[in-house]
A = this chain, B = another copy of it.
């Protein structure tokens, strides 16, 4: 069985992001299921259909190429004001072109997220799944993985230290990888 190539995207840019930390934990766990998690940077220019400078667009091309070659995508989104981060949505807007024929079309995508609040990005995940369906991605339906009160789930080095969340992440990844193998268009 070929190794499943999963592209990991953290919706937060800050160094100590718990969403990036959650992807770090996923990177280690996913190997148990013949899958490999690599990362994409979303430090892209602001989306502007007029932008034509090839140098400015180079990181956009790189992001789209990484999505194109991935078998599946795992997005860890923060929740800012009930929605996914604008930074993440901006990257998605770039990758979503041309509409309905983009690199997101038919791509198996899962959404997870961590936040300091009691709802653990549930609202942001809902908005993000709408966006993904708007690009005709295949959205991993179940289970959900919302990590509430995130500050208590990671240690001082940003390592996932909560055994209950570790276990939920482990079974999430097992089911996600199996689903992605089944539904992906080859």
A residues in contact (CB < 8 Å) with B:
13-15, 43-44, 46-50, 80-93, 96, 123, 127, 130-135
Contact = CB atoms under 8 A, between A and B. Distances in A.
Select the residue from A47, A88, A123, A134 with max chain B CB neighbours within 10 A: A47
Given A81-B92, A93-B81, A123 B127 contact: no
Count this chain's copies in the assembly: 2
Contacts of A49: 13-14
B127 A130 contact: yes
B89 A85 contact: yes
Contacts of A123: 130, 134
Contacts of A134: 81-83, 123
Contacts of A86: 46-47, 86-93
Contact of A15 (B46, B50, B82, B127): B50
> Closest 4 interchain pairs by CB?
A86-B90, A86-B89, A82-B134, A81-B134
B130 A83 contact: yes
Given A96-B80, A123-B130, A127-B130, A13 B85 contact: no
B96 A47 contact: no
Given A48-B13, A131-B82, A90 B92 contact: no
